Amino acid sequence: MSEDPAPDPTLSRLSAALGGVPTRGLPPVERWDPPYCGAIDIRIAADGTWHHNGSPIRRDKLVKLFASILRREPDGRTVLVTPVESVGIAVDDAAFVAVEMAVDGTGKGRRISFRTNVDDLVSVDAEHALRFEEGSDGALKPYLHVRRGLWALVTRALTYDLVDLAEERVVDGEPWLGLWAGGTFHTIAPVAAA
């Protein structure tokens, strides 16, 4: 088994800058406005694996730390933010992957919660919406809004579970397939396209 590459000074600076941030809850990155210092060679692959200099980051604690300081900028860039600097990273598809799902109730009272690959727990509601897109292969790709403009791709297995919950409802005069969660009807696709 290969070891992580030697520590990168940029990664070390990011970790050190967070030394004074409380470990409970998420850091208040939306209140930080540090200078942008350019992009670094960190990439989140479509399967949720974090890479640095082309190699997977194998330390879960480090990945979770970096995930906690992710922010989506108004210009679309994804950045790691500390009180002293902001650096850009690459994201192949979504910042997170929804890997586990729990469902309670039915209809308008249904609650759906997800756990992401970095152990965020998110309940679907108006603020944490589901959106559905068609992938390049024509397959349905659901996403869950996690926080700060960052989304989680729902795994293929969980996609089938979501589709099993779908029902038809008229939205803006047109029949749609969708599902209730958190008091909101989340549209999947027009019935005519399904």
Each residue's pLDDT tens digit, 27-39: 999 999 999 999 9
Placement of tokens 């200099």 in the chain: 53
Confidence label for 194 from pLDDT (cuts 50, 70 and 90): low
Best CA proximity match to 94, nearest among 140, 59, 146:
146
pLDDT tens across 66-120, in order?
999 999 999 999 999 999 999 999 999 999 999 999 998 898 889 999 999 998 9
Which CATH code is given to the segment(s) 9-91? 3.10.540.10
Domain boundaries, the chain: 9-91, 96-193
**Does residue 155 surpass a pLDDT of 70?**
yes
AA identity, residue 177: L
pTM for the whole structure:
0.84
**Does residue 21 surpass a pLDDT of 50?**
no
- Which overall architecture, per CATH, does domain 96-193 show? Roll (2.30)
- Cα–Cα distance, 159 to 113 (Å, whole number): 13
CATH topology agreement for domains 9-91 and 96-193: no
